[in-house]
Structure formats: C-alpha cells, structure tokens
Amino acid sequence: MNKLADRVFTKSVLPFKKAELSEYEYALLMAIFFTQPNANGLSFYGKNLLYEESVRYTKMLLRHNQNKFGILEGARRLDECIRLINVSFENYFAFREVNFNLCVKQYPNLIEKL
C-alpha cells in the first residue's frame, strides 16, 4: 500500500521535474492532454473535433521545440513531452488503485454488497 501511495503522490512528479518544461511547453502539453478524444459518451463529431485540436496543439509543440532545439532534437523533445501524457494516465490509474484499496480496507464488506 505504501508503495502505491509513494508512486502516486511522490514519484509521479519526478518525470515532470526531470523534463524541465517551459511554461509554453507545459501549456501546450495540457492542451494536448485535455483534447484527447478517448472520453466515453462523445459523439463522432465531438471526438473528431477533439482529435483535430489535439493534432493542432501537437504540431504547435513540435514546431516550437524544433525552432528552439533543432529538427531532430525538437522531435526528441516532443517524444519526451508525449511520454509525460502517458505517465499522467499511469499515475491516474495508480491513484484509482490506491483509492480502491483504501475503500476495501476501510469497508471490507463493500465489494460483497456491490
């Protein structure tokens, strides 16, 4: 249990600190993160719209990084930024697991009632 809590609340921040994102990179990364079209309950049109926005912000981040670091290094930097999105999803699922384990510990008969 402590390992999960450590992973969720402490180690989850390390990749972001290591990446040393600029404010501009962080803002674009958040825009990419929040325009992922994989949410449940969205219409086809809504998913398409989110996808187009996600692509637009990704291209902006790539262009910014290539102007700042060069073509190849800028692409590598984009890859590093995109990996942070994956880390965020992994952290979210770890956080859910921690909460689930806490509920099971606190209310051991809860699962049987569901």
* pLDDT value of residue 111: 60
Decide: 74 and 25 in contact? Cβ < 8 Å. no
Note the pLDDT of residue 113. Answer: 60
In DSSP notation, 42-59 reads --HHHHHHHHHHHHHHHH
Q: What is the residue-averaged pLDDT of the chain?
A: 86
Residue 77 burial (CB count, 10 A)? 21
Q: What is the pTM of this model?
A: 0.73
**Tally of residues, the chain:** 114
What integer pLDDT is reported at residue 112 of this predicted model?
63
Give the residue, 87 or 58, on which the prediction is more confident. Answer: 58
Q: Is the pLDDT of residue 1 over 60?
A: no
- Please tell me whether residue 37 adopts helix, strand or coil conformation: coil
Query: Distance between CA atoms of 20 and 17, rounded to whole angstroms?
Result: 5
Tokens of 67: 């102007």
How confident is the model over 27-56, as pLDDT tens digits?
999 999 899 898 889 999 999 999 999 999
